Amino acid sequence: MSELNNRPPAKKVSESVVECQLYEIFPSDLNSQNTMFGGRVMEITDKKAGLAAMLHARQQCVTAQVDGFRFVSPAKMGEVLIFKAAVNRVWCSSLEVGIKVLAWDLKTNAKRHVVSAYFTFVALGADSEGCKICLPEVLPETEDEKRRYSEAEERRSHRLREAGKIPQDNQSVPGKV
C-alpha cells in the first residue's frame, strides 16, 4: 500500500499552532554587548518550532533544515521572549514550521519583532530503524495561512533546486520528501 493511502486525516493550521511560549532572558543568556546570544535564541527557537512539528505529527520530529533565520532586533536583559510557531505546509514525511519571536518589555508592555525563521522537520516512525512516516496534510483557512502555505512550497522548490534534486529550470517537485 502506498504511503498516501496510509496518510492520517488532514488538520487545520490552528490545530498545530504553538503560541505564546515564553522565555525570560537571564544574565547567563547575554553576550558582551548585553544582548541575548544569537545562538541561544536559535536553540530555543528550534525547540519551540519542533514542538509545533510534533504537535502536528504526533510523532518524534527532527530538524532537517533552517531557512531564512533572520535577526530583526536584539533581545535584552529583563525582556521576555514570546515564540509563535505554526505549521505552514506538510509534504509526506516533512513539514515546514514558521516561527516569529517577539521581545516583550514588561515594564512598558512594548513588544517588538526580534527573529523570524522557517524550519523543515522530518517525522520519524516509531520503529527502531527510525523510518519515515506519512503525515497529515495541513489545511490553510485564512488568507495569511494560504499565503504561508504557498510560500512554503516556493522555499521547498528553491531548496531542492539548490541541492541539485531538480533542474534549475524545472519548477515542479518530483516525488515525495
- pLDDT confidence tier of residue 169, bands split at 50, 70 and 90: low
Q: Across residues 45-50, what is the average pLDDT?
A: 95
What pLDDT score was predicted for residue 1? 37
Q: Which residue has the higher pLDDT, 3 or 143?
A: 143
| HEC profile of the chain | CCHHHHCCCCEEHHHHCEEEEEEECCHHHECCCCEECHHHHHHHHHHHHHHHHHHHHCCCEEEEEEEEEEECCCCECCEEEEEEEEEEEECCCEEEEEEEEEEEECCCCEEEEEEEEEEEEEEECCCCCCCECCCCCEECCCHHHHHHHHHHHHHHHHHHHHCCCCCCCCCCCCCCC
Q: Across residues 112-136, what is the average pLDDT?
A: 83
- pLDDT confidence tier of residue 49, bands split at 50, 70 and 90: very high
Q: What percent of the chain has pLDDT over 90?
A: 66
- pLDDT confidence tier of residue 127, bands split at 50, 70 and 90: low
